[in-house]
Amino acid sequence: MATDKTGYVSVGARIEDKVMPDRVIFSIGFGGRFDTKEACLDDYNADRAKVAAALVPFGLDDELTCRRYTCYAQTTRKRAIIVGYDYYAYGTVAAPVDSIDCAAVWTALNTCGSHADMNIRFELADERAAEDVLIARAVERARGNAQALAAAAGAKLGGIKHISYNSRPGDYGGVYCAAMGAPDGVSGGLGETVLDPEPIEVECSVDVEWWLE
């Protein structure tokens, strides 16, 4: 017997969970001010070499990626006389959390003699995979709510009319430690640095429409 699918029920559901980050990213901000452009470049190359050397014991020196080197003149306001040059560049090193000793790498970077700014970020390597784990739970929750609505209306759920998946905009992750000097226990330290990442909140939401029978 054919079913007259003239009505439907629409339900949305959201599932939230917490997942431990599986990737760490060390960020290095190079920079300085010197009398000449050549001196800026020399300082950058020397600083980058110190950072790379600090990463060698961990097998991460090849993972150091530097970009956006920029050097610009500093001038007086009135006569636009060049009084020096500033430069900046950015470097990153990414690795799986469970493959390295994050605290040891952090200490090595902050004690290698570089004057670069250092920070560390923990995040999810595959954000979508973390969300996909929650999809089945979100659909099941929506189905339960839809069945309750259908029963209250004296009907039964039929097949799915429409389903959509909504991803949360933005990145999952955050900066859990940032410093411009040496870690605790080293001359000039900024106090104890805690590198243990906190769980990252992951969410998945779906909108589902079922035909009513």
Q: Which of 17-31, 73-87, 91-105 has the lowest mean pLDDT?
A: 73-87
Class of domain 23-123: alpha beta
Q: What confidence score (pLDDT) does residue 192 get? A: 54
Q: What confidence score (pLDDT) does residue 190 get? A: 47
Q: What confidence score (pLDDT) does residue 183 get? A: 45
Q: Which of 19-33, 148-162, 167-181 has the lowest mean pLDDT?
A: 167-181
As a whole number, the mean pLDDT across the chain is 86
118 closest CA partner among 130, 129, 108 = 108
For residue 1, what pLDDT band results from cuts at 50, 70 and 90?
very low
Q: What confidence score (pLDDT) does residue 185 get? A: 42
Q: Which residues pair with 117 in a beta bridge?
A: 29
Tokens 């500033």 found at: 86
SS3 string, the chain, reads CCCCCCCEEEEEEEEEEEECCCEEEEEEEEEEEECCHHHHHHHHHHHHHHHHHHHHHHCCHHHCEEEEEEEEEEECCCCCCEEEEEEEEEEEEEEEHHHCCHHHHHHHHHCCCCCCEEEEEEECCCHHHHHHHHHHHHHHHHHHHHHHHHHHCCCCEEEEEEEEEECCCCCCEEEEEEECCCCCCCCCCCCCCCCCCCCEEEEEEEEEEEEEC
For residue 42, what pLDDT band results from cuts at 50, 70 and 90?
very high
For residue 169, what pLDDT band results from cuts at 50, 70 and 90?
low
Q: What confidence score (pLDDT) does residue 193 get? A: 58
- Residues 176-180 have a mean pLDDT of 46
What is the CATH code for 1-20+126-184+199-213? 3.30.110.170
* Distance from C-alpha of 139 to C-alpha of 195, rounded to nearest angstrom: 36
**Within 10 Å of residue 177's Cβ, how many Cβ atoms?**
19
* Structural domain boundaries in the chain: 1-20+126-184+199-213, 23-123
Q: Check pLDDT > 60 for residue 18.
A: yes
Q: Check pLDDT > 90 for residue 11.
A: yes
131-159, pLDDT tens digit by residue? Answer: 888 999 999 999 999 999 999 999 999 99
Q: What confidence score (pLDDT) does residue 181 get? A: 42
- Residues 62-76 have a mean pLDDT of 94
**pTM > 0.85: yes or no:** no
Of residues 39 and 77, the one with the higher pLDDT is 39
With a CB cutoff of 8 Å and minimum separation 6, the contacts of 105 are: 26, 55, 58, 60, 93, 95
135 closest CA partner among 12, 14, 8 = 14
Of residues 128 and 44, the one with the higher pLDDT is 44
For residue 178, what pLDDT band results from cuts at 50, 70 and 90?
very low
- Residues 181-208 have a mean pLDDT of 67
CB of 110 within 8 A of CB of 102? no
